């Protein structure tokens, strides 16, 4: 049957998410498995968010506040920016799609780093836009090559900082110089889904550039640091004039009542944020130590996840680890056929990952000879 689906939609490959734990356990008939595949917060949701969420349940017969008044105010106060600069989304995925919808007409070009987050390409294609891919250089976004990719049809450029899946960051000074060399009639999107985990003091923080020319849009999310991936809340920070266009095309109730209340509470939960950052940073350092002892190479990260070279088929390692109840991500589809990506988990989860990896790859967990 021939369906009336535009050619550009037919070209989209579906997004493949990390396997949900329940699905894996059903398929493999196991229990007690752990998931380190989707960069989620291993501590669970912020306890303050859970409290706030409960207070909204009695009003679920009403539509949400479509302006997200309280959450917008909380974000604005926390980041010291005007509320008019904030657009809430059903996850930052929602904002990515809305940006493409507003700024791309069919045939317009969007420059994307590759490999990077797959939602940029999907959203660009969904509007009939033409993705222009710029490969990473030494696993970092190649700003120079991105400049070379600019044409008269370029309308958008996406940066992911830190980049998923490599964990590399862009430096502030390098970015400032890059921005000056771009044409002004386009927009630059900086996806900061993991910015709170960064330890490098020279890392670019996009908020300082929102009023630049070309305009910069910064994306943030409650899915990672704040432990609310299941609720779906993200936001974009941009010049109010741009925000006005996004408000015209977004669904009027794109962030639900429960999510708005939980996100506002999570943002104010300093204790949970600190606990998460300590856990992630210590977990990464422990994982690096263990991998060093086993002789594995990996890319140190500025995020809560990183890539490990398993020196064999990553798909096979993924499968073998699954059978031990450890869910990781194979990086084959990202162009790294011998790499897996994991996020830092709880200390026990990290230890379980290390023993599963040692057994799957026949490595000893003791220090190699001569080290």
Q: Which residues bind ligand PLP (CB under 6 A)?
A: 39, 91-93, 117, 160, 164, 191, 193, 221, 223-224, 229, 234
Q: How far is the CB of 366 from ligand PLP (least distance, A)?
A: 34
The long-range contacts involving 13-21, CB below 8 angstroms and separated by at least 24 positions, are 15/118, 15/119, 15/122, 16/333, 18/327, 18/329, 19/322, 19/327, 21/327
Q: How far is the CB of 257 from ligand PLP (least distance, A)?
A: 18
Q: Give the nearer residue to ligand PLP in terms of CB position, either 160 or 294.
A: 160
Q: Give the nearer residue to ligand PLP in terms of CB position, either 158 or 178.
A: 158
Q: Give the nearer residue to ligand PLP in terms of CB position, either 93 or 349.
A: 93
214, burial (CB in 10 Å: exposed 0-12, middle 13-18, buried 19+): middle
Phi, psi of 9 (to 5 degrees): -75, -40
Residue 322, CA atoms < 13 Å, CB-side half-sphere: 22
Q: Give the nearer residue to ligand PLP in terms of CB position, either 123 or 324.
A: 123
Q: How far is the CB of 219 from ligand PLP (least distance, A)?
A: 7
Q: Give the nearer residue to ligand PLP in terms of CB position, either 37 or 290.
A: 37
What does the alpha-carbon distance between residue 357 and residue 324 come to, in Å, rounded to a whole number? Answer: 10
Q: How far is the CB of 365 from ligand PLP (least distance, A)?
A: 30
Contact 36, 345 (CB under 8 A): yes
Q: Give the nearer residue to ligand PLP in terms of CB position, either 145 or 229.
A: 229
Q: How far is the CB of 122 from ligand PLP (least distance, A)?
A: 12
Q: How far is the CB of 151 from ligand PLP (least distance, A)?
A: 25
Q: How far is the CB of 295 from ligand PLP (least distance, A)?
A: 29
Q: How far is the CB of 347 from ligand PLP (least distance, A)?
A: 23
Q: Which residue is nearest to ligand PLP (CB)?
A: 91
What does the alpha-carbon distance between residue 88 and residue 64 come to, in Å, rounded to a whole number? Answer: 13
Q: Give the nearer residue to ligand PLP in terms of CB position, either 229 or 358.
A: 229
Q: Give the nearer residue to ligand PLP in terms of CB position, either 296 or 336.
A: 336
Classify the phi-psi angles of 68: left when phi > 0, otherwise alpha if psi is within -120 to 50, otherwise beta. left
Q: Give the nearer residue to ligand PLP in terms of CB position, either 112 or 160.
A: 160
Q: How far is the CB of 232 from ligand PLP (least distance, A)?
A: 6
């Amino acid at each position: 049957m021939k369906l009336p689906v535009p050619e550009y939609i037919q070209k989209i490959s579906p997004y493949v998410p990390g396997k949900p734990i329940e699905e894996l356990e059903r398929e493999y008939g196991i229990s007690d498995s752990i998931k380190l595949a989707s960069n989620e917060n291993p501590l669970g949701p912020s306890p303050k968010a859970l409290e706030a969420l409960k207070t909204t349940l009695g009003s679920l017969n009403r539509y949400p506040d479509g302006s997200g008044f309280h959450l917008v105010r909380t974000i604005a106060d926390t980041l010291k920016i005007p509320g008019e600069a904030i657009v809430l989304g059903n996850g930052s995925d929602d904002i990515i799609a809305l940006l493409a919808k507003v700024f791309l007409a069919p045939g317009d070009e969007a420059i994307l780093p590759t490999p990077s987050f797959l939602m940029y390409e999907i959203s660009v294609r969904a509007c009939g836009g033409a993705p222009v891919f710029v490969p990473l250089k030494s696993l970092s976004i190649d700003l120079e090559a991105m400049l070379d990719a600019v044409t008269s049809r370029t309308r958008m450029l996406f940066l992911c900082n830190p980049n998923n899946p490599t964990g590399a960051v862009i430096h502030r000074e390098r970015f400032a110089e890059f921005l000056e060399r771009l044409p002004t009639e386009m927009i630059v999107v900086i996806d900061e889904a993991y910015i709170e985990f960064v330890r490098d003091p020279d890392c670019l923080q996009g908020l300082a550039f929102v009023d630049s020319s070309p305009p910069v849009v910064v994306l943030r999310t409650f899915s990672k640091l704040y432990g609310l991936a299941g609720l779906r809340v993200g936001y974009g920070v941009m010049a109010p004039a741009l925000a006005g266009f996004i408000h015209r095309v977004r669904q009027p109730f794109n962030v639900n009542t429960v999510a708005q209340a939980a996100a506002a509470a999570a943002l104010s939960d300093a204790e949970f944020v600190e606990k998460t950052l300590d856990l992630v940073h210590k977990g990464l350092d422990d994982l690096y130590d263990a991998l060093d002892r086993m002789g594995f190479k990996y890319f140190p990260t500025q995020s809560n996840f990183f890539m490990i070279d398993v020196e064999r088929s990553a798909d096979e390692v993924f499968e073998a680890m699954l059978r031990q109840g450890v869910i990781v991500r194979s990086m084959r589809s990202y162009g790294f056929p011998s790499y897996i990506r994991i996020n830092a988990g709880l200390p026990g989860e990290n230890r379980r990952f290390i023993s599963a990896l040692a057994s799957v790859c026949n490595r000893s967990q003791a220090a190699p000879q001569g080290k």
